[in-house]
């Protein structure tokens, strides 16, 4: 039996353009929907698969505002069976703070009788892109960590994890449990929620935790956007009649063989 804790972060689902808040410290997400990173979607999928294959439980965790319950419920609808909200302003938390808050939950659950053989995270959060929460967590828990895992399987007291190698091949790790793994999109197809799954998710009681201590923060001074370029598009035409103009352009660019 392997229990898995999977960590996700609520982020704005950005469309074609980004607007900053007036203080320049964040993205104005007031008019945007929210989601989690594709890496984390894959981590959730792997957590559900491992729990199912080993008769364990998959628990989803996020540190964020109460709005992040939306992302927790989504993960529950997919097949996670427990959810933890560490209620805090995520933007005040640097990666070391987030790792410490996750470690606190792991330890508290352990004290209460639930141990996690695996903690799964995304390789990098899609907003702050710090590339480190999972690794920091592994140091706090003194567990081995593999970053950038695309598929995994639990085999007794070990986990076999596969990820990309610098030369384009695959690297295979065999790591003793308990372990921390950070997941990268590409190895598996995340499932979609079913209607019974959604019904079940509504009934799950979400554990709410208050973070201990004050976060050190992320050292952010401000965000900057690249200057907006006025559109300079040259429309070559409409429909198939434009084919001649397109090939003229391809020839001009020297890309026709």
Partner 1 sequence: MSAVLVLVETDGGGATEVSRETLTFVRGLGLDVHALVVGDGPPGLVDQLGAYGVTTVHHADGDAFTSYAAAAWAAAVVAAAGDATVVTAAGTPRGNEVLAHVACRLGVTMAANVVEVESVSPLSVSRQVLGGSALEEMRLEDAVAVFSVAGHACDPAEAESHATPVVHPLDVSVPEADLRARVVRTEPGEPDESGGLKSARVVVGAGRGAGGPDGFADLLELTELLGGSLGVSRVVTSLGWRPHHEQVGQTGSRVAPDLYVACGISGAIQHWAGMSSSKTILAINTDPDAPMVTKAHYAVIGDLHEIVPAVNEELRRRSAG
- Note the residues at the interface with ligand AMP (CB under 6 A): 7-9, 37, 39-40, 61-64, 90, 95, 98, 121-122, 124-125, 128-134
Nearer to partner 1, 86 or 183 (CB): 183
Question: Which of ligand FAD, ligand AMP, partner 1, none lies near 243, with the C-beta cut-off 5 to 8 A by kind?
Answer: partner 1
Q: How far is the CB of 149 from ligand AMP (least distance, A)?
A: 12
Nearest to 149 by CA among 189, 180, 126, 117: 180
Measured N-to-C along each axis, helices 95-111 and 133-141 cross at an angle, to the nearest 10 degrees, of: 40
Query: Could you tell which of partner 1, ligand FAD, ligand AMP, none binds residue 35, using a CB distance below 5 to 8 A set by kind?
Result: ligand FAD
Residue labelled with tokens 């981590």: 43
Distance from chain centroid for Cα 193: 17
Query: Closest Cα to residue 127, out of 6, 7, 10?
Result: 10
Token pair belonging to 144:
């081995």
Distance CA 209, CA 222 (A): 29
Q: Phi first, then psi: what are they for 217, rounded to 5°?
A: 95, 180
Closest approach, Cβ 137 to ligand AMP, in A, equals: 8
Q: Smallest gap, in angstroms, from Cβ of residue 171 to partner 1?
A: 5
Between strands 170-176 and 158-164, the pairing is: antiparallel
Instruction: Find out whether 8 and 43 touch, Cβ atoms under 8 Å.
Output: yes
Contact positions with partner 1 (CB under 8 A) in 188-217: 189-190
Q: Which does 98 bind (CB under 5 to 8 A by kind): partner 1, ligand AMP, ligand FAD, none?
A: ligand AMP
- Residues 7 and 121 sit within 8 Å (Cβ to Cβ): yes
Shortest spacing between CB 138 and partner 1, in angstroms: 8
CB of 165 within 8 A of CB of 42?
A: no
Q: Is residue 21 a contact point for partner 1 (CB under 8 A)?
A: no
Interface with partner 1 in residues 222-251 (CB under 8 A): 222-226, 229, 231-247, 249-251
Q: Which is nearer to ligand AMP, 4 or 7 (CB)?
A: 7
Choose the one of ligand FAD, partner 1, ligand AMP, none that binds residue 63, judging by a C-beta under 5 to 8 angstroms depending on kind.
ligand AMP
Residues that bind ligand FAD (CB under 6 A): 13, 35, 37-38, 126
């Amino acid at each position: 039996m392997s229990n898995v804790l999977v960590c996700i972060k609520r982020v704005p689902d950005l469309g074609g353009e980004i607007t900053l808040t007036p203080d320049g410290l964040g993205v104005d997400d007031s008019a945007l929907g929210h989601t989690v990173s594709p890496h984390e979607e894959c981590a959730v999928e792997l957590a559900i698969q491992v729990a199912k294959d080993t008769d364990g439980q998959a628990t989803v965790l996020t540190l964020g505002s109460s709005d992040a319950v939306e992302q927790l419920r989504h993960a529950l609808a997919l097949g996670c069976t427990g959810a933890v909200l560490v209620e805090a302003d995520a933007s005040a938390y640097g990666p070391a703070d987030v790792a410490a808050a996750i470690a606190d939950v792991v330890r508290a659950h352990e004290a209460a009788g639930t141990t996690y053989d695996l903690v799964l995270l995304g390789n990098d959060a899609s907003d702050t892109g710090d590339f480190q929460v999972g690794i920091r967590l592994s140091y706090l828990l003194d567990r081995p960590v593999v970053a950038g895992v695309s598929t995994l399987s639990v085999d007794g007291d070990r986990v076999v994890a596969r990820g990309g190698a610098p030369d384009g091949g695959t690297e295979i790790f065999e790591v003793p449990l308990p372990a921390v793994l950070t997941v990268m999109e590409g190895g598996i197809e995340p499932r979609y929620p079913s209607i019974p799954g959604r019904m079940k998710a509504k009934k799950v009681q979400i554990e709410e935790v208050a973070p201990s201590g004050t976060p050190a923060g992320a050292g952010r001074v401000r965000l900057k956007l690249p200057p907006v370029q006025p559109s300079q598009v040259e429309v070559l035409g409409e429909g198939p009649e434009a084919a001649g103009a397109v090939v003229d352009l391809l020839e001009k660019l020297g890309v026709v063989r």
